[in-house]
A and B are shown apart, each in its own frame.
Chain A
């Protein structure tokens, strides 16, 4: 029995690497005493797969995993047991069974919606909002990238499906939906754009912005004209306004 899950990586857990996170999953599955299937071979590992890795330091409410169980499980019970076994910061938000012939998980994860949180005074907040407007209006925004040790400019704009922002009392949150590399619009440079490069793009347009204090992947799924349809539930993740 195969199951797909959307989970969080937040709080202190955001400082552990993708490899460490995989080990935490394996151990938690054992701790929850679920009938997870094991790989064959010399050193058997529980069958859990992760379509991509969240860079260290980023938080997320939109990570995904696919699990293979050796025996049928009651989904709600299994999710409860796993959530009890997980350390704080790791939590399954939604789990769905996979039927034979369902599309591959990676094909459902076409885009990511990210929140970049800035701490800013009124003046800086205005500049961030202006940078967001400028980026939305721009046709081309070159950012620096290392390629084989040499700096190179890539146009980050085509990978940005949508960008929005909202000011709060102590800063600004920028929400950006980025096309994944296999789902870029035709003609876009083949770049897996990172949230740090979105920040770099904003700085190209309005120099000397503060670094974001927290970057969170909100969800993954399919980019819509407005917002994102979450991969497992279809739930609408709207832009900020």
Chain B
């Protein structure tokens, strides 16, 4: 690694002592600490960047009285406000919880480093945006973890909040620290810091946890007694009740229950009928610009396209569609209660909804001639998707269309099971440019298993071909090729893969760069390969990695997903000091190797994942979508006693 061994810790890092002192406040302070900190932060707001991040006061904000509540939740997205605010998961749970009488849910976001400095200097605790209450005023602090690179921010939020970092140091009166979101499918690198992790859908879980925590406060149980009841909620994983064992060579032997009455494997939570959960209904309308400003509705959850690298597609199975009527009603009400000018129809592969043409066509009719625009992110490489985009855009502006072929050659795409032929891609590009679209964005990954230099160069070749088509339809047409490094994720067929080291990714990027040099209508965008090192470590790490996370935080790691803050030197030093070998965690795993997430049941059979992995790397065998071909027994549907909820009819039936 280039700027590796000598960690450049020259940046001024905020000192930690202040907040650590706050930790020593008597436990009884929780109920006493209900006073707003607004008057403490107000004098400093004109001296920090973008103070709108910290003020609350947005449209559709729900401000309830904490003092008269039986249970108060602080929902934290551990990134800066403009990234965290649009998060669907937080918004849904915010509404579900606030609709419960006697329950208060407020929101908090990671303070930007300038604000952190102010907070530490003036002993201002982590606060919520609704009533500006300190973290310790809440019964539950729940973090939404979309990605691993928020882990040090999570520790920073707890530390600023005066909540002991280690669950074992928390008293009966400290808030319960909960994590959810996709990264919670391997909670082990955060195990010492969280009381409860939940994998899967949160809509039903939060209400059940809310009930138990109310009883805890009412009955005056000890913290352990409360956790013993919480662990009975389906989906609740309490890391303190489990212990990992390691073999002499350092490999994990297993993670075993160490407390009476806890399950060997904790299942994920799955909401079976999304039409019964039509959230968000009244999303927050931010006062300042955020990364996604639109009314977003999930048109379905889950995906069975079977892309082998895709964690989201694997862990959210089965497919559950919202009906066209529910989607339309949600959009109409959502636009009316927010004033948003854009509607996003979200899912992992939006064009796969069985009623997608009807949804797009009817909504486009409803909003034709208005200033409301519709968008369909996450579409496949398919001329049909251009048709859909046309349907949505009507006579509006055709700016950019985004497609994700993910890999440069058909061979590589067969390995990852992204079944797009080059002819498909070129036809799609042709259709798009012919219809007047002027900018195509193509997303690719490098560092995929079995990848050769030919596959890597294929990215450049495909980009050049698409760019050539673009030029035929207009000199100013543009193509952007965006390249990221592949990070193997738990609960996917590629969980056994080796992760390419950053030097190798840089070499491959250079191959692409030199191949396309000189083409003026082709832009190359790529991610710095170094943050992926940490993402990979945290994604597939075990409980021993937690010490490195804590040390990195102590050394000043924050906002690891931000190029301007990410510092590989800090992580290398933290890993060295805690005996964590990054390369060991990036290596290829053996068939029988126990994973740190094996006791978290995503529903997928490990045998099936292994078979699919071998099919990929040994035979480049494709796997069809099980919505319209026979079941291949990934394990999810029978385990959940569910089936896909979709209007698609199987193309053919019967045993394979």
Interface residues of A (CB under 8 A from B): 11-13, 15-17, 19-20, 23-24, 26-31, 38, 42-44, 46, 56-57, 85, 87-89, 213
Most buried by A among B52, B57, B58, B287: B287
Q: Is B55 an interface residue (CB 8 A)?
A: yes
Partner of A17, one of B57, B58, B285, B288: B288
B339 and A27 form a contact (CB under 8 A) = yes
Q: Is B11 an interface residue (CB 8 A)?
A: no
Partner of B287, one of A43, A56, A85, A87: A87
Mask: chain B, 501-526; 1 = CB below 8 Å from A; 0 = not: 00000000000000000000000000
Mask: chain B, 335-352; 1 = CB below 8 Å from A; 0 = not: 011111100000000000
B289 and A16 form a contact (CB under 8 A) = no
Measured CA separation A17–B371 after assembly (Å): 24
**14 new A-B contacts at CB < 8 Å, known A27-B59, A30-B339, A43-B397:** A13-B287, A15-B51, A15-B55, A16-B51, A16-B287, A24-B287, A28-B339, A31-B336, A31-B339, A42-B397, A56-B46, A56-B51, A87-B58, A87-B59
Residues of A within 8 A of B14 (CB): none
Chain A nearest CB: distance from B181 CB in Å? 28
B57 and A88 form a contact (CB under 8 A) = yes
Interface residues of B (CB under 8 A from A): 43, 45-46, 51-52, 54-59, 285, 287-289, 336-341, 371, 397
Chain B nearest CB: distance from A81 CB in Å? 12
Can you list 30 A-B pairs, Cβ within 8 angstroms, ordered by A? A12-B56, A13-B55, A13-B57, A15-B46, A15-B52, A15-B54, A16-B55, A16-B287, A17-B52, A19-B289, A20-B287, A20-B289, A23-B289, A24-B287, A27-B285, A27-B339, A28-B339, A30-B341, A31-B337, A31-B338, A38-B371, A42-B397, A46-B371, A57-B45, A57-B46, A57-B51, A85-B339, A87-B57, A87-B58, A87-B287
Residues of B within 8 A of A12 (CB): 55-57
Closest to B50 in A: A17
Most buried by B among A11, A24, A44, A46: A24
Given A15-B45, A27-B339, A38-B371, A89 contacting B57 (CB threshold 8 A):
yes
Closest to B129 in A: A12
B288 and A16 form a contact (CB under 8 A) = yes
Residues of B within 8 A of A31 (CB): 59, 336-339
Closest to B335 in A: A30
Chain A nearest CB: distance from B553 CB in Å? 29
Residues of B within 8 A of A46 (CB): 371
A16 and B52 form a contact (CB under 8 A) = yes
Most buried by B among A12, A20, A43, A213: A12
A27 and B340 form a contact (CB under 8 A) = yes
Closest to A15 in B: B51
Chain B nearest CB: distance from A223 CB in Å? 27
Residues of B within 8 A of A57 (CB): 45-46, 51
Instruction: Please name the 6 residue pairs, one residue from A and one from B, whose CB atoms are nearest each other, closest first.
Output: A31-B339, A12-B57, A57-B46, A27-B339, A12-B55, A15-B51
Residues of A within 8 A of B46 (CB): 15, 56-57
Residues of B within 8 A of A42 (CB): 397
Residues of B within 8 A of A38 (CB): 371
Measured CA separation A29–B52 after assembly (Å): 21
Chain B nearest CB: distance from A69 CB in Å? 14
Residues of A within 8 A of B336 (CB): 31
Measured CA separation A67–B43 after assembly (Å): 34
Chain A nearest CB: distance from B37 CB in Å? 14
Residues of B within 8 A of A44 (CB): 371
Closest to A20 in B: B288
Closest to B54 in A: A15
A20 and B45 form a contact (CB under 8 A) = no
Residues of A within 8 A of B341 (CB): 26-27, 30
Closest to A88 in B: B57
Residues of B within 8 A of A15 (CB): 45-46, 51-52, 54-55
Residues of B within 8 A of A87 (CB): 57-59, 285, 287
Chain B nearest CB: distance from A58 CB in Å? 9
Residues of A within 8 A of B51 (CB): 15-16, 56-57
Chain A nearest CB: distance from B514 CB in Å? 36
